[in-house]
Every structure is written in C-alpha cells, then in structure tokens.
Amino acid sequence: MRKADAKKRCDRFVAEINDIQDRARRVRQAQRVLGRAADKRWAFEMLAVNAVTAWSEFAEDIFYAGINWDSSALSRRLGLNLPEHLSLALCEALFTTRGFLDFRSVGELKGEAKKYIGKRHAFASLPSASGQIIDRLVAVRNYVVHRSRVARSAYKSKVLEPEKITTLVDPGRFLLALRSGRSRLEGYLESMRIAGRAVKIALPRR
C-alpha cells in the first residue's frame, strides 16, 4: 500500500506560499505595470484567494495522509474493522462521496483530525496565532469571492474588528496596508509558512 509523503507535501506548500509572498512584494513595489493603487488592491485580493486555496488543498492532503498512515481512529469512529493502511483514494472517497471536504476554520480542522486521525494528529501543534491569521485570511477570501451579507459580516467581525477598524475597508486596501515595512498580506503569509513548517515537524516518522 503506497503511503503519502506528507513531508514533501509540506515542503511544496511552503514553496507555494513563498511564491505568493514574493509576488505580493513585487506587486507592492511595482511602479509602472501595476502603478495604479486600484490594480494593486485587486492583485492583493487575488493573491489572498490563491493563498487560501493553497492552504485548503494542503490541509486536505495532510488530513488524508494521516488516515492513510493509520486508520485505527477512523475505525473506532465508524465502528468498523478497517485495514490499518487505506489507499489515499479510499481515504478521500470516505469524506467526499456526498460533496467535498471543507474545513471552515482551523479549529474545525483540528477537531475533525482528532476524531478521525487521533490525538497525535499533525495539526495539533499548529500555533494558535497562525491559526487565527489563517481564519482571518479565509474570511477575507470569502468576502472577496462572495460579497454576501454573511461573508461581509464575518469579514468585519473576524478581520477588521480585531484590528480596531470600525468602517468597512476594502479587502485589497486592508491587505496592502504596511506593517513594519511590509504589507499586511505578507505578514499573513508568513504565519501560513510557519503553520506549514509546524505541521511538517509534527508529522510522525515513516
């Protein structure tokens, strides 16, 4: 049974975030091609969407890898006598036959991992600060993509209010704002990179 190489997947995720962060820096510093502030704000919104997509795919892959390595917790949860090592395709099918896997927050991800992988799942060591930033970026992404009342409310309560911002600031403007010489988005991406490295360190040896 082929086992998932989760450590390589962590490296690939960190490389993706590095690339997005580099693009964010180049867009922010651009003078000609993306000289207009509106263009930069739009670009930053799209980079935030890309970052959340990368995180979602990474979280799913590591979740499936944990079950692929050891299905004992899943067996107990389902009341079945499953083989210790399930194929990655079967791991995915068990959670996506009626839709798609969607972790709405890092807290939910940790809770589901604890139920189906066990207490020693790789997400358990993810720093709470990184988890909070990832949740904020997910709220930004949802507002950028949907612009619904629910998404706007979550964006205001989860993203703007913790920053003491009382008016509805456009996501691109919010992400472009400088903090300690770099944009807020670049700081958020640093938290994502820390999360990816923390998950890699927590992975069991195989």
pLDDT at position 192 over 90 = yes
pLDDT for position 88 = 85
Distance separating alpha carbons of residues 13 and 10, to the nearest angstrom: 5
- Strand, helix or coil at 101? coil
The mean pLDDT value of the chain amounts to 91
Whether the full predicted model's pTM is greater than 0.85, yes or no, is: yes
pLDDT for position 1 = 45
Q: What is the mean pLDDT of residues 71-88?
A: 85
H helical segments located in the chain: 6-29, 37-69, 72-78, 88-96, 106-116, 128-146, 149-155, 171-176, 184-202
Distance separating alpha carbons of residues 155 and 172, to the nearest angstrom: 13
CB-CB contact of 22 with 106 (8 Å):
no
Nearest to 198 by CA among 118, 115, 106: 106
* Cβ contacts of 163 within 8 Å, gap of 6 or more: 174
Q: What is the mean pLDDT of residues 35-45?
A: 88
- pLDDT tens for each residue of 159-190: 999 999 999 999 999 999 999 999 999 999 99
pLDDT at position 194 over 60 = yes
Distance separating alpha carbons of residues 107 and 80, to the nearest angstrom: 26
- In DSSP terms, 182 is beta-bridged to 179
* pLDDT above 90 coverage of the chain, percent: 73
- Pick 117 or 35 by higher pLDDT: 117
